[in-house]
Amino acid sequence: MKISKFLLIFNLCFLFIFHKSFADEAKMAKGLEIFNETAGCAACHVLKAAGSMGNIGPNLDMVSNISKESVMDIVTNGLGVMPAFGEDQIISKEEIDIVSSYVANVAGK
């Protein structure tokens, strides 16, 4: 009885950790898709992780330590020539959130 209870708890922990890493991976894949396709960030930015070569905006591999919050702010409100994706409703708030964590995770790495 004791061992089976232990195994049950062990399995539940395992599933929980596994599920979480799958969810993170799925979110990164979605972020990449938004970057390259849905929002078209790739057209203006170099980002090695995404394989993009746009050179209208700054090379995102050159920005170091950019936080998710500051990416979200720039993407939502725009900056100079960069469109305001939130104000113009080009992508949803959820998509802004996902693409911003993606960029903050891979930029400058």
Q: Which residues bind ligand HEC (CB under 6 A)?
A: 39-41, 43-45, 56-58, 60, 63, 66, 71, 74-75, 79-83, 85, 99, 103
- Of 51 and 58, which has the nearer Cβ to ligand HEC? 58
- Of 1 and 88, which has the nearer Cβ to ligand HEC? 88
d(CA 98, CA 93): 9
Could you tell me the two tokens for 2? 């004791």
CB of 4 to ligand HEC, least distance (A): 49
- Of 3 and 39, which has the nearer Cβ to ligand HEC? 39
CB of 104 to ligand HEC, least distance (A): 8
- Of 3 and 56, which has the nearer Cβ to ligand HEC? 56
Backbone dihedral region for residue 19 (phi beyond 0: left; psi -120 to 50: alpha; all else: beta)? alpha
Inter-residue contact 54 to 46 (CB < 8 Å): yes
d(CA 77, CA 80): 10
Q: What letter represents residue 29's amino acid?
A: A
CB of 27 to ligand HEC, least distance (A): 15
Closest C-alpha among 31, 108, 103 to residue 69: 103
